[in-house]
C-alpha cells in the first residue's frame, strides 16, 4: 500500500529496520567515497597537471564531473529518501532526470576516452578534438533529453526498491517499449559498441607494439575504467531487459532494482581509486596533500649587506 502526501509518496514498511539501516550505511559510505574522491581528483587534475602525463583530459574531466554530480545529488537524494520515506516533487523529477543524464555522460566519456586512446595524440588536436568535444556534449545532452521525457509525461514515481524516483509504467506496453528501445539505441548502445571495438583494437595494437609513453599516460587506466563501468551497470541493464520482456509492465524484482542502484553508485567511488592506481597520478596527489616543507640541507646565500666604516 502507498499514498501521496504533499507531493511525496510514502510506502508502508518498505524495508525491515535492519536492512534499511544497512542500506543507509552503504549509501553513506558510497557518497563519501564519491564526493571526497572526485573532489581530490579534480584538484589533482587542475593543480598538478604538469606532474603527470594526461593527453586526453577532456573525457577524464567529463567523467569526474559526472561522478561528482551523481555523488552529490543522486546518492545523497537516495540516502535522504531512505531516512525520510520518500522524495518530494519537484526534487523527485529532478533526481530521475539527472540520474539518466549522469549514466549517459559516463558511458559517453569512457567511449570518447577509448576512441582517443586508439587514435592517439592526433585526436586531441584541431578538427578531431572539436569532434570529441561535440561528442562529449552530445552524451550529456541526449541524457538530459531522454531523462526529461518521463518527467513531461508524468511517468515518475518514488520506488523504495531503487531508493529514488524512477519511471513506472502503468498503462501502455508500447509506450514503454518505444521509450526504452530508443533510449538504449541512442544513448547506450552506440557508446557501448565504441568501447567494445576500440578496446579490442587497442589490446591488439598493444600486443604488436608496446609504447612506454602510452603506459606512462593516465589513459593507461582505461581498461580498468571500462571493466568497472560494465560490472557496476550490469544489474541496471538486466533490470531494463527484464522490464522489456514482461508484457504486464511489472518491473524487475525488488532485490535486483536495489542492487542496480547500489552498484551504479559504487562506480562513482571506484573511479578515483582507479586513477590512483596510476603511479604518476598517485604521486601528484600525494605531493598535493603532503607538501614537502623540510628546510634546505645546505645554507643558501640570499643577500649581502655592505658596511661602511
In whole angstroms, give the CA distance from residue 36 to residue 193: 32
In whole angstroms, give the CA distance from residue 70 to residue 37: 13
In a domain, 305, yes or no: no
In a domain, 302, yes or no: no
pLDDT tens digit sequence for 138-165:
999 999 999 999 888 888 888 888 888 8
CATH of the domain at 191: 1.20.1070.10
In a domain, 290, yes or no: no
Total-model pTM: 0.84
Range of the domain at 143: 2-281
Please return the burial class of 295, using the count of CB atoms within 10 Å of its CB with bins 0-12, 13-18 and 19+: exposed
SS3 209: coil
In a domain, 299, yes or no: no
In a domain, 293, yes or no: no
SS3 299: coil
At residue 213, φ and ψ (nearest 5 deg) are: -65, -40
CB 21 within 8 A of CB 185: no
In a domain, 66, yes or no: yes
292 pLDDT above the threshold of 60 = no
Of 263, 301, 234, the C-alpha closest to 163 is: 263
pLDDT tens digit sequence for 243-284:
887 777 778 888 999 999 999 999 999 999 999 998 888 888
In a domain, 55, yes or no: yes
Count of structural domains, the chain: 1
Q: What is the DSSP letter of 13?
A: S
In a domain, 294, yes or no: no
Crossing angle of helices 222-244 and 189-208, in 10° steps, is 150
In whole angstroms, give the CA distance from residue 105 to residue 221: 18
Amino acid at each position: 500500500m502507498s499514498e501521496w502526501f504533499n507531493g511525496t509518496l510514502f510506502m508502508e514498511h518498505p524495508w525491515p529496520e535492519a536492512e534499511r539501516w544497512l542500506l543507509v550505511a552503504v549509501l553513506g559510505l558510497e557518497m563519501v567515497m564519491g564526493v571526497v574522491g572526485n573532489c581530490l581528483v579534480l584538484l589533482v587534475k587542475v593543480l598538478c597537471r604538469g606532474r603527470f602525463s594526461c593527453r586526453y583530459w577532456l573525457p577524464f574531466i567529463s567523467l569526474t564531473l559526472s561522478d561528482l554530480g551523481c555523488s552529490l545529488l543522486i546518492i545523497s537524494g537516495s540516502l535522504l529518501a531512505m531516512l525520510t520515506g520518500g522524495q518530494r516533487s519537484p526534487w523527485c523529477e529532478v533526481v530521475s532526470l539527472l540520474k539518466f543524464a549522469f549514466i549517459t555522460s559516463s558511458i559517453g566519456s569512457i567511449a570518447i576516452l577509448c576512441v582517443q586512446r586508439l587514435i592517439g595524440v592526433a585526436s586531441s588536436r584541431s578538427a578531431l578534438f572539436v569532434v570529441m568535444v561535440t561528442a562529449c556534449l552530445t552524451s550529456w545532452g541526449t541524457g538530459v533529453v531522454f531523462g526529461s521525457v518521463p518527467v513531461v509525461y508524468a511517468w515518475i514515481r518514488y520506488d523504495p526498491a531503487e531508493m529514488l524516483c524512477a519511471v513506472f509504467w502503468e498503462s501502455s506496453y508500447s509506450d514503454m517499449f518505444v521509450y526504452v528501445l530508443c533510449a538504449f539505441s541512442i544513448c547506450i548502445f552506440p557508446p557501448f559498441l565504441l568501447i567494445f571495438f576500440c578496446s579490442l583494437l587497442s589490446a591488439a595494437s598493444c600486443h604488436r607494439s608496446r609504447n612506454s609513453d602510452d603506459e606512462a599516460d593516465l589513459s593507461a587506466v582505461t581498461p580498468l575504467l571500462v571493466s568497472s563501468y560494465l560490472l557496476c551497470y550490469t544489474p541496471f541493464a538486466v533490470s531494463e531487459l527484464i522490464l522489456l520482456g514482461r508484457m504486464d509492465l511489472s518491473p524487475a524484482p525488488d532485490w535486483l532494482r536495489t542492487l542496480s542502484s547500489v552498484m551504479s553508485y559504487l562506480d562513482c567511488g571506484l573511479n578515483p581509486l582507479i586513477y590512483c592506481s596510476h603511479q604518476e597520478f598517485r604521486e601528484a596527489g600525494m605531493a598535493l596533500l603532503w607538501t614537502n616543507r623540510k628546510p634546505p640541507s645546505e645554507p643558501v646565500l640570499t643577500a649581502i649587506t655592505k658596511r661602511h666604516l
